[in-house]
Amino acid sequence: MIDIHLIRKDSEAVQKKLQTKVPDTNLENILQLDTTIRTKKKEVEELKAKRNETSDAIGQMKREGQDCLEIMKEMKELGERVRQLDHEIAEIEPKLVEELGCLPNLPMDDIPVSQDPQDNLEIYSRGEKPSFPFPIKNHLELNERLHLFEFQKAAKVTGSGWPAYRGWGARLEWALINYLLDYHVKRGFTQWILPAVVKEDVLFGSGQLPKFANQQYIVKDDEHDLYMVPTAEVPLNGLFMDEIVAEEELPLKYVAYTPCFRREAGAAGAHDRGLIRTHQFNKVEMFSFTTPEESEAVFDEMLQAAQKLVEGLDLPYRSMLLATGDMSFAAAKTVDVEVWLPGQDRYYEVSSISNCTDYQARRSHIRCRKGKEKPRFVHTLNGSGLATSRLMVGILENNQCSDGSVKVPKALQPYLGGVDRIEPSS
């Protein structure tokens, strides 16, 4: 959430910057609500000050035997006015919080300003796109003989858009998850196993609500009002809601594997077939709490980790600094790591590294304190480390052979009992 003081200080500049992310952003209603609340609060303070002064005067009048019925009647009316104002403020403040909650984070100054993803800036690339001396197949065509995953059978169980992995596909997926987790743990990230559902305020704290309510799966009945985890970023951020962390403990660097659940309403395109975009996918997530001074260095560390993981799988990729209009809602800066998928003839994101500055911390009331100094909001950073479904596509399509088999990257072979090739089955 954006600091209301920034909006008060220079609403025109803030609105202009927000419009580089969401063009129709308008701060007029927020300013009106804020002014109304501040005016009413000021009146309450003045009335309470008057009541305190008058109470002393009434006491003195009683001691002197003077009639104070009229002034006591006035104080009763004053008290009723204070209660009325408090009630009005209590009704308006949630509206202001909701309006502020719909604003995205402010982009950093060095982000390309554009609504067109074509203006994302390539900042790094590695690996040559493979050339094949035979007609290539996409991952769905390869799967016809490899039998690694099922969509038709999964549709019987749940509906369209939900994958089911089988045999070597399940083993390869599990090998990927373990490869990713081992990498992060060896580099000092603390591993978590998290709940698969979260409360509404936790989802709000991470920036998923109210903006992306139509993309969430909800578990709701007379006893529960919970949301399926869209990414481990959400519960990891929620671990420290309403807490003050000792500054010397920072940075806190966490990693977690979770299945992720997203409706992806209206998001799928013609190219987004098979495992490219599904309602459920597996992801290993990096998440860090830092001081504002450390956040950029931690961002670079997380980006390098994502890149090294892709390099370890020997997949060609590029890293793209996202333009303002293509950035995630809560991010002030985002770099996507994209893997080349030959069967799709394009790059696809497998990791998105974001510095959310104090945006999530402000929504979640997460602060840090050095000694007895005044608490301040932490910075939060998140990044896929990595999402596995498109990695699976990348491995299959980049390592396919003319006979329909697929070579297994060396980094994954120890997790598969030394198997270096997955062969077609009858």
- The residue-averaged pLDDT of 96-118 equals 96
| pLDDT, position 73 | 79
Estimate the crossing angle of helix 295-312 against helix 167-186, to 10 degrees.
Answer: 140
| pLDDT, position 272 | 67
| pLDDT, position 271 | 58
Q: What is the pLDDT of residues 155-198, one digit of tens each?
A: 999 999 999 999 999 999 999 999 999 999 999 999 999 999 99
CB 326 within 8 A of CB 121: no
Residue 199: which residues within 8 A CB-CB, separation 6 or more? 225, 226, 227, 238
- Give CA–CA dist 318/104, Å, rounded: 26
Q: Residue 277: in which H helix or E strand, if any?
A: none
Return the C-alpha torsion angle 47, 50, 52, 53, nearest 10: 180
Q: What is the pLDDT of residues 205-219, one digit of tens each?
A: 999 988 888 899 999
| pLDDT, position 68 | 66
126 annotated active-site: no
pLDDT above 60 (res 11): yes
- Give CA–CA dist 282/297, Å, rounded: 27
Instruction: Say which of 295, 328, 351, 352 is annotated catalytic.
Output: 352
| pLDDT, position 426 | 57
Out of 3.30.1550.10, 3.40.50.620, 1.10.287.40, 3.40.640.10, the CATH code matching 4-101 is 1.10.287.40
pLDDT above 90 (res 365): yes
| pLDDT, position 63 | 67
Torsion sign (Cα): 365, 112, 27, 231:
negative
Backbone phi and psi for residue 399, each to the nearest 5 degrees, phi listed first: -115, 20
b/e 44-75 (16+ beta carbons within 10 angstroms → b): beebeeeeeebeeeeeeeeeeeeebeeeeeeb
Highest mean pLDDT out of 26-40, 48-62, 261-275: 26-40
b/e 231-267 (16+ beta carbons within 10 angstroms → b): bbbbbbbbbbbeeebebeebbbbbbbbbebbbbeeee
Instruction: Say which of 173, 206, 233, 262 is annotated catalytic.
Output: 262
114 annotated active-site: no
Average pLDDT in the chain = 93
Q: What is the pLDDT of residues 54-101, one digit of tens each?
A: 776 666 666 667 776 777 778 788 888 999 999 999 999 999 999 999
Instruction: Say which of 277, 362, 363, 367 is annotated catalytic.
Output: 277
Q: What CA–CA distances, in Å, run from 391 to 203, 276, 387, 409?
A: 27, 9, 7, 11
* Residue 281 DSSP SS3: strand
- The residue-averaged pLDDT of 264-277 equals 66
| pLDDT, position 52 | 78
Instruction: Say which of 74, 99, 150, 349 is annotated catalytic.
Output: 349
Token pair belonging to 175: 């090998």
349 annotated active-site: yes
- The residue-averaged pLDDT of 400-424 equals 97
Q: What is the pLDDT of residues 307-356, one digit of tens each?
A: 999 999 999 999 999 999 999 999 999 999 999 999 999 999 999 999 99
Q: What is the pLDDT of residues 271-302, one digit of tens each?
A: 568 999 999 999 999 999 999 999 999 999 99
CB 408 within 8 A of CB 421: yes
Q: Residue 294: in which H helix or E strand, if any?
A: none
Number of H helices, E strands in the chain: 12, 18
The domain spans of the chain are: 4-101, 117-422
CATH number of 117-422: 3.30.930.10
| pLDDT, position 266 | 44
Q: Which amino acid is at 392?
A: M
